Amino acid sequence: MLCLKLIDYQISSDAYNYILQERREATRGKNVGKEIVVDLGYYSTLEGALRALLHKELTGSDHVSAEMLLARIEQAEKRIIDAVREQCG
């Protein structure tokens, strides 16, 4: 089973899917203040889950120029690569 942690997100897997999840702090209920994991999507390939993560990162902020968008893509790619190297060797 895979569990790749990427800042506020993680990608885990089961026998059938790669699961894109967001790690966040609970704001209500019995787990207030504790970190919880929320499933965002299920993907048949790791590539699909990584593409969804990149899309989530890019659509989460306003981009005023192509240069800023490119910089944001490069930052996201670097975070993913660094996380894979750190956690997978």
pLDDT given at position 36: 92
List residues bridging with 25 in a β-sheet: 35
Residues in the chain: 89
pLDDT given at position 8: 86
pLDDT tens digits, 8-58: 889 999 999 999 999 999 998 898 999 999 999 999 998 899 889 888 877
Higher per-residue confidence, 13 vs 5? 13
pLDDT given at position 60: 66
* Residue 63 predicted with pLDDT over 60: no
pTM for this prediction: 0.72
Task: Map out the domains of the chain as residue ranges.
Answer: 3-88
- Mean pLDDT value of segment 57-86: 76
Signed CA dihedral, 40, 43, 46, 49: sign only: negative
